[in-house]
Structure 1
Amino acid sequence: MTQTTDQSSAHTANGQTGEFHVLLVGAGFAMFGTTEGPWNIAKRLEGRLGSRLVVDAIIEVDPSKAEAALAKKRDTPAHASYKSTKVFPDVDAYASAVSGGSLPIPKAICVATPPAVRGGMSEPRDLELKIIKHFPEANIFLEKPVATGAPWEKSVGEAKEVGRILREHKGIISVGYVLRYLRAVQTMKKIIEDNNLHVMATFARWIMAYPPGIKLDWWNKAILQGPVIEQGTHVCDLSRYFGGDINVETLSASAVEWYEKPGNLSQIQIDESKIPEDSRIPRFTSASWKYKSGAVGSMMHGVALQGTNDSIELQVFADGYQMILSDPYGSPELRIRSPDSDESQIISTAGDDPYQTEMNHFIDAIEGGGDPSILSSYEDAAQTYEFTWAIRLASEANSDKQKALYNEKGSA
């Protein structure tokens, strides 16, 4: 389907007409697309709103990045949506323009800044609070994770407090844990509901193809807090979506660290010597826990594959049922073994675009019509953030213990 067709069909969706004014916060890959994955908020706004979309402004600390993104957009079929877009350095400057009457109040605000500048209660991490101070009825879509900060007690505590504040906010709040919106995931949920099943166990796996990882910050857990918090958060959240709340006290985890023999990577594309040794990421992390429901769960994240495609899978078990979701970001496939047969039914959902579904739900929640359900609230997302920190802390504690034992034996 071409962009022109998308815009035409979206124009009359749910019978809505008239301009839909949007503020974009951040002009990076998640907002305007990346070769590393399907993230592209602007594309999904265009797909849902078509010619109704008016991007009034972009907030970006690096104006040249925003101007470069706008230059590309103005050379596409969606150019009309960006013809008058202005660039501002921060929320305060943009809010001044709105209060001065030169720009309308936005109908939606989409946030895709680095999580290190979000999820906090004070400068420079209080982006959400600034937005709702200026726009007390704002409808906000935020990328995940909700934060990546340290020390962990302060960062997690503040993210949960922001969640409590946003619970009382008058506008729609949606956090982009996109895998919840997969057709295959909703099929799994329906099977559980229709058969009155109780989830017994979940197993999640994300193994990264690491050569494309050329951002030095990603390999530095002092900056992005490590691969489980920054990337594994997707499958950790999906585990919670099926298993429910977690008894954090039951969680245990181990890691293959960079300095151990199995942690030696032959095709790493960054100069890891530029990263302090204590800040280098683990290569594998394996965790297990018990849900408050009584079910058990486990997760494995690895930085191990070569090539370009990650290997991702989620398994959910219930009495008589095994459901396996694979390749959720590529060509999602669901395998279902039921009490009726030892053979698995294979359901392919190739072409499913959960990013578009997610955006459609957000717009529907604002305007009505369609399916207005928001599948990830801020408070829920803050619990996933806390969960990923718990995994990192448990694995590091275990690694420290193993290192101490090794050093003790070496000096004996």
Structure 2
Amino acid sequence: MSSRRPSERRGSDRRGSGAASRRPSIDPSRLIPMDRVTHVGGSDDFNVVFIGAGNIMFGSDEGPWNHSFRFEHKLGRRLKVVALIDPAIERATAVLQKKCDSFVVSAYQDTRVFKTFEDFVRNMAPRDRPRAIIVGSPPMYRGSTQPGRDIELQILKYFPGVAIFLEKPVATGPEEEIQEAFKIAQMINDSKTICSVGYMLRYLKAVQMMKQIIDENNLTVMSTIARYACAYQAISKPEWWDKAKSAGPIIEQGTHFCDLSRYFGGEVDIASVQAHSLEWDENAGQLSKMAVDESKIPPERRIPRVTAATWKYDSGAVGSFTHVVALQGSNYSCEFEVYADGYSLKLVNPYVQPVLYIRKPGDDNETTVRFADDDPFFSEVSNLIDIIEDIEEEPEAAQILSSYDDAVRTYEFTWAIRKASERSREAKLKASADAAAALKAGV
């Protein structure tokens, strides 16, 4: 059984407050595959509430996400899901039945389904008080202080001190509500609530190896370059193609690479962000294999096909990101590069089979490192549980790598890219209109 004692670093560093001069990191050798991890010791129940019964919580054929699966492996028979909250009662009941028909029945046999969080609070027995609340509901219902979209505030109100895990992005609400998300971040920090946000790419072994190289060689990042090309043919949710619902591909999908950029480059000078977009109504923006009928989406709400952005970091370094909606089939194409004096670190295919290419001073050739068995989804859950349980033989072991405050800064950054691209499009349209008017007037 693992020892349990108060950690020497129980404060903001391990909880990932985001305030440290160097962003939190983990020795990559400590990121152990799920099948090699021993269940957390003990016989006491570990109560968990799941908010959301969709793909992110229970898995799908579209990707590797499945939080319930990771919690089951981390906690073993100690896991007790006391409530599953989702307004789609039938869907929640169906996924719950599948769990009860499987070998993890002990975690779900007493789970109750509720339509709303308030229903759970009203009907909760004292023995069902959770130790962690996992929020996998759509981002449009969180990150705000507005009723119905303020799940974080409801958790802080009814379950002070209970750890929170939220999926990314923290919100997809209107731009003017970003400051509300910062207020929530401050409340979470002030309450000293353990809170982790699901930017799982930070937990990749490859990413932590990159951090290790930078830290051990005392390097200063000069530039980050990110590229994300999605396979749009497999994206069949109409909401994703509607900026009014998803907030657009930079905010909803590209957020992971914007977050990685901040993780390595530091804080972004928001005023420096510039961007251009290729829109749906331009000749090069025509797509032939869309799975949705875009004609049902108002023209002003249709997403761009390409967004290319550049910016300055507060450190003086330069960053860039290009998001492309162009590939067909099912495989995405993603790369992330970091440059420092004498060093090039290039991460390829981080979502499936990560490969890291390393070039160091004194050698023009790249070293290739492959990471076949890495599971960052499990690593973020494992680290969260270790911090909740305070199980540490060495306090350096577990770290929350993405705090709520940090995630809000990424959210603010993605909005800055979207707005910059929209401004450049508006300027181009105005220039075209002015030129047409001048031509018509005979000027």
TM-score using structure 1 length? 0.95
Relative to structure 2, which stretch is displaced further, 55-64 or 381-390?
A: 55-64
TM alignment of 1:209-358, pairs within 5 A: 209-358=231-380
Partner of 1:116: 140
Pairing 1:136–2:160 present: yes
Pairing 1:45–2:89 present: no
Note the C-alpha offset of 1:261: 0.6
Note the C-alpha offset of 1:10: 3.8
Note the C-alpha offset of 1:7: 9.3
1:142 counterpart letter in structure 2: L
Maintained 8 Å contact 1:7/1:49: no
Distance 1:84 1:110, change over 3 A: same
CA distance in structure 2 between the aligned counterparts of 1:212 and 1:192, rounded to whole angstroms: 37
Pairing 1:55–2:81 present: yes
Partner of 2:31: none
Maintained 8 Å contact 1:8/1:51: no
Structure 1, unaligned runs of 5 or more: 1-5
2:290 counterpart letter in structure 1: I
Partner of 1:3: none
Note the C-alpha offset of 1:218: 0.4
SS of residue in 2 equivalent to 1:351: coil
Partner of 1:149: 173
Pairing 1:195–2:217 present: yes
Maintained 8 Å contact 1:7/1:50: no
Pairing 1:97–2:123 present: yes
Report the count of equivalent residues.
401
Q: Identity percentage over the alignment?
A: 48
SS of residue in 1 equivalent to 2:246: coil
Partner of 1:386: 412
1:407 counterpart letter in structure 2: A
Aligned to 1:372, which of 395, 398, 404? 398
SS of residue in 2 equivalent to 1:359: helix
Partner of 2:53: 27
Partner of 1:80: 106
1:190 counterpart letter in structure 2: Q
After superposition, the C-alpha distances for 1:73-131 in whole angstroms (9 at most, x for unaligned) are 12222122111110111122211222x53x42101110001000100112121110001
TM-score using structure 2 length? 0.88
CA RMSD of aligned residues (A): 1.4
Maintained 8 Å contact 1:363/1:372: no
SS of residue in 2 equivalent to 1:347: strand
CA distance in structure 1 between the aligned counterparts of 2:341 and 2:62, rounded to whole angstroms: 38
Pairing 1:181–2:207 present: no
Distance 1:8 1:386, change over 3 A: closer
1:140 counterpart letter in structure 2: I
Note the C-alpha offset of 1:403: 1.6
Note the C-alpha offset of 1:8: 11
Relative to structure 2, which stretch is displaced further, 187-196 or 89-98?
A: 89-98
CA distance in structure 1 between the aligned counterparts of 2:123 and 2:190, rounded to whole angstroms: 26
Pairing 1:398–2:420 present: no
CA distance in structure 1 between the aligned counterparts of 2:249 and 2:146, rounded to whole angstroms: 26
Distance 1:139 1:271, change over 3 A: same
Distance 1:404 1:8, change over 3 A: closer
Maintained 8 Å contact 1:22/1:57: yes
Distance 1:43 1:267, change over 3 A: same
1:299 counterpart letter in structure 2: F
CA distance in structure 2 between the aligned counterparts of 1:300 and 1:71, rounded to whole angstroms: 42
After superposition, the C-alpha distances for 1:329-353 in whole angstroms (9 at most, x for unaligned) are 1000100000031000000011200
CA distance in structure 2 between the aligned counterparts of 1:171 and 1:286, rounded to whole angstroms: 37
Note the C-alpha offset of 1:410: 3.4
CA distance in structure 2 between the aligned counterparts of 1:410 and 1:32, rounded to whole angstroms: 54
CA distance in structure 1 between the aligned counterparts of 2:103 and 2:192, rounded to whole angstroms: 34
SS of residue in 1 equivalent to 2:329: coil
Note the C-alpha offset of 1:170: 3.5
Note the C-alpha offset of 1:60: 0.7
Maintained 8 Å contact 1:208/1:305: yes
SS of residue in 1 equivalent to 2:233: coil
Note the C-alpha offset of 1:192: 0.4
Note the C-alpha offset of 1:183: 0.3
SS of residue in 2 equivalent to 1:211: helix
